[in-house]
Amino acid sequence: MAPQLYLITPATADLHTASATVAAVLNAATFSALLVQRGSLDDAAYAKLATELVAMGQAAGCAVLVENNTALAKKIGADGVHVTEGPVALKAAIAAIKPSMIVGAGNLATRHDAMTVGEMNVDYVFFGPLAGASDTNAADLAEWWATTFEIPAVLSDPAASPTTDTRGAEFLALSTSIWSAADPVAATATIVDALGAA
């Protein structure tokens, strides 16, 4: 069974480029979730980017998430937050917005990390980096989690290609390989076609 798709946006302050590119990719495939990546953006630039992309993602049928900031998520009408700052921040996010909004847990490097957050009423566990190179350890962790626990696993493979093995994870997160392609729409379609045939 093919995984659902989770799209991680490019972290850029260029709203025009981000909007146009993300819109095109959202139209190329069915994505269940859209994470607005912060990268090195400051608070103001990130808030502008997230505000721009929330309505777009939701119109495309995505649950739109922001990184770590529950106040921003509530202010701009996002669907939830993706927490990468550890169990204390995760606990605070859960207390602030659950159960009406989504809370996902990322930045998980070990099985212990994953089991710790898995006991905290999260909506998904996320293995792998948001951008950059692939992480073999993340793929192994995602496979272990998906075969052992019921909370959905997201495998983030920034270098995803048509030959990517999703290792049984319920979601595959796409990022760098899409945005760095000469034609992001074509790159997305190629991966989606390969997943459908897997």
Task: Return the domain boundaries, the chain.
Answer: 4-197
Count CA atoms closer than 13 A to 129's CA, side-chain side.
13
pLDDT of residue 197: 52
CB of 72 within 8 A of CB of 52? no
Q: What percent of the chain has pLDDT over 70?
A: 99
Q: What is the pLDDT of residue 198?
A: 45
The arrangement of secondary structure in 4-197, i.e. its CATH architecture, is Alpha-Beta Barrel (3.20)
Q: How many CA atoms lie within 13 A of 50 on its CB side?
A: 32
Residue 92 host element (H or E): helix 87-97
Q: 117 CB contacts (<8 Å, ≥6 apart)?
A: 87, 90, 105, 108, 125
Structure confidence by residue, pLDDT tens digits, 110-124: 999 999 999 999 999
Using one digit for the tens of pLDDT, what is the confidence trace for 89-103? 999 999 999 999 999
Q: Residue 89: its pLDDT value, please?
A: 98
What residues in the chain have per-residue pLDDT under 50? 198
